[in-house]
C-alpha cells in the first residue's frame, strides 16, 4: 500500500507547523514499518529539501484556492489503479475538497484528519461563513472519506452533532522520542517554583489571559513562583501589558521563540507545565513537556487530561477561572516541597515513552484508519 500524506504549508522540518510535523512523523515511522510512503506539500515556495526516509513532492500553492496546481492534479490521477490511500491533514482547506473530489473520480480512497478544526469551540467561533463552507464542501468530503480521524475525545464525541460519522476513529498525537534527548543539560534551577508554557502566544484559544490572571492572583496570595512563556505570537504585547497592569512583570519571563536544544533546556529548568487551552486537537507542547519529565497542568479541552490523571502525571483544570489556576499553582508549590512533584514528572516521561511513541501511533493509523 502506498500512503500519501497531503499537507498545506511548509515542508521543511524546522519550519513546519504542528499539523505538518504530525504528517512528517507519521510518514517517517510508517516508512520504517516497511510501507511505501510519500509526503506531498502544497507550499508557497518550491525550495530544495534535505533527503527524507520517505518520498517528498512539493506543489505550488495558488492564489485562487479553488484551483489546484496542474502537477498536483496529474499526481493524484496517477494513483488510479494503485493500492493507495491519501491522508488529508487539516480542515477547511479548499484545495483538499478539490483533491478529494478528484480522488473519488479516479477511485482512490482518502482519509481526513481535521486536527482540531471541527472542535466545538473552533467551529462555533467560525460564524456563518464557516457553517456555510461546512455545509457546501467539508460535509461532502467527510461523507465520502474512508475514515475520519480525531485527536481527542471532545471532538470525537461532538462530531456527530455536525453530521453522522460512523467511520470515525480516535487516535492521539505521538511524540518523537529522539527529540526528548535534547536539552538534557538544563539551565541552573531557580530557587523558587517555575511554571512554564510553550507554544504560540494566542490568548483566546490557548487561555493565556487566564493563565496570567491566575498567576497574578497566586502572587497576590503570597506565591513566590515565576511564570515563563516560551514562544511568540500575535498577542505577546497584550500579555506583556496585562503582566505590567497586574504588577507581575518582574516575575514573568517572555522567552520568545525557542527551538530544539534550547527549548528543551528551558522546559527541563521549570517545575510544571501549564496548558489552559479553551480549544485544541491534541497539543504537541504537552507531550514535549511531559516527555521531558514535567508534570502537566491542563484543561479538559487539551484532550490530554484523562491520560495525565490516569498516569498520575499531572493535574486537571476543570475550568480556567482565575482562582482555579491560582489554586493549581499553589498545589504545584506544595508538591514541590513534599517531593511528589518530581514523582509526577517521572510518571509523565514514562507515559510518553510507553503510550505516545510515533511508531505505536503509526501502526494504529494503518490498522484503524487506512484498512
Domain ranges of the chain: 2-174+357-370, 178-355
Mean pLDDT (whole number) for 36-52: 86
In this prediction the pTM is: 0.85
Which is more confident, 271 or 166?
A: 271
- The string of DSSP codes covering 303-338 is S-HHHHHHTT-EEEES---HHHHHHHHHHHHHHHHH
Q: pLDDT tens, 79-100?
A: 999 999 999 999 999 999 999 9
In this model, does residue 38 exceed pLDDT 90? yes
Domain 178-355 classification at class level: alpha beta
pLDDT band for position 178 (cuts 50, 70, 90): confident
Mean pLDDT (whole number) for 140-151: 96
Mean pLDDT (whole number) for 136-163: 94
Same fold, 2-174+357-370 and 178-355: yes
Fold (CATH) for 2-174+357-370: Rossmann fold (3.40.50)
List 226's β-bridge partners, or say none: 194
pLDDT band for position 332 (cuts 50, 70, 90): very high
Query: CA 248, CA 255: separation in Å to the nearest integer?
Result: 16
List 274's β-bridge partners, or say none: 297
In this model, does residue 197 exceed pLDDT 80? yes
pLDDT band for position 11 (cuts 50, 70, 90): low
Query: CA 356, CA 284: separation in Å to the nearest integer?
Result: 11
Which pLDDT belongs to residue 71? 97
Which is more confident, 13 or 61?
A: 61
Based on C-alpha coordinates, what's the Rg of the chain?
21
List 273's β-bridge partners, or say none: 196, 296
Mean pLDDT (whole number) for 184-191: 77
pLDDT band for position 12 (cuts 50, 70, 90): low
State the average pLDDT for the chain: 93
Amino acid at each position: 500500500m502506498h500512503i500519501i500524506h497531503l499537507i498545506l504549508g511548509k515542508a521543511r522540518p524546522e519550519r513546519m507547523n504542528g499539523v505538518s510535523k504530525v504528517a512528517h512523523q507519521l510518514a517517517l515511522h510508517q516508512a520504517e514499518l516497511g510501507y511505501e510512503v510519500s509526503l506531498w506539500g502544497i507550499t508557497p515556495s518550491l525550495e530544495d529539501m534535505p533527503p527524507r526516509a520517505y518520498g517528498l513532492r512539493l506543489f505550488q500553492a495558488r492564489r485562487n484556492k479553488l484551483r489546484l496546481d496542474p502537477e498536483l492534479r496529474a499526481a493524484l490521477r496517477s494513483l488510479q489503479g494503485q493500492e493507495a490511500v491519501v491522508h488529508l491533514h487539516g480542515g477547511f482547506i479548499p484545495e483538499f475538497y478539490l483533491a478529494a473530489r478528484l480522488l473519488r473520480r479516479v477511485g482512490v480512497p482518502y482519509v481526513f484528519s481535521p486536527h482540531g478544526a471541527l472542535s466545538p469551540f473552533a467551529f462555533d467561533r467560525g460564524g456563518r461563513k464557516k457553517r456555510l463552507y461546512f455545509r457546501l464542501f467539508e460535509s461532502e468530503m467527510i461523507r465520502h472519506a474512508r475514515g475520519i480521524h480525531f485527536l481527542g475525545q471532545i471532538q470525537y464525541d461532538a462530531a456527530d452533532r455536525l453530521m453522522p460519522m460512523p467511520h470515525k476513529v480516535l487516535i492521539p498525537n505521538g511524540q518523537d522520542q529522539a527529540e526528548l534527548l535534547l536539552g538534557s543539560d538544563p539551565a541552573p534551577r531557580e530557587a523558587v517554583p517555575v511554571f512554564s508554557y510553550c507554544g504560540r502566544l494566542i490568548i483566546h484559544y490557548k487561555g493565556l489571559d487566564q493563565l496570567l490572571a491566575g498567576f497574578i492572583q497566586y502572587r497576590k496570595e503570597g506565591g513566590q513562583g515565576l511564570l515563563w512563556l516560551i514562544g511568540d505570537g500575535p498577542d505577546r504585547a497584550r500579555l506583556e501589558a496585562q503582566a505590567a497592569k497586574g504588577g507581575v512583570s518582574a516575575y514573568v519571563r517572555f522567552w520568545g521563540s525557542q527551538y530544539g536544544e534550547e527549548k528543551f533546556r528551558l522546559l527541563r529548568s521549570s517545575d510544571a507545565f501549564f496548558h489552559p487551552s479553551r480549544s485544541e486537537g491534541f497539543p504537541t507542547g504537552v507531550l514535549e513537556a511531559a516527555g521531558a519529565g514535567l508534570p502537566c497542568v491542563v484543561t479538559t479541552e487539551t484532550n490530554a487530561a484523562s491520560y495525565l490523571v490516569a498516569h498520575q502525571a499531572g493535574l486537571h483544570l476543570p475550568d480556567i477561572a482565575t482562582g482555579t489556576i491560582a489554586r493549581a499553582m499553589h498545589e504545584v508549590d506544595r508538591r514541590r516541597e513534599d517531593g511528589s512533584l518530581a514523582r509526577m514528572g517521572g510518571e509523565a516521561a514514562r507515559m510518553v515513552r510507553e503510550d505516545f511513541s510515533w511508531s505505536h501511533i503509526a501502526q494504529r493509523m494503518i490498522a484503524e484508519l487506512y484498512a
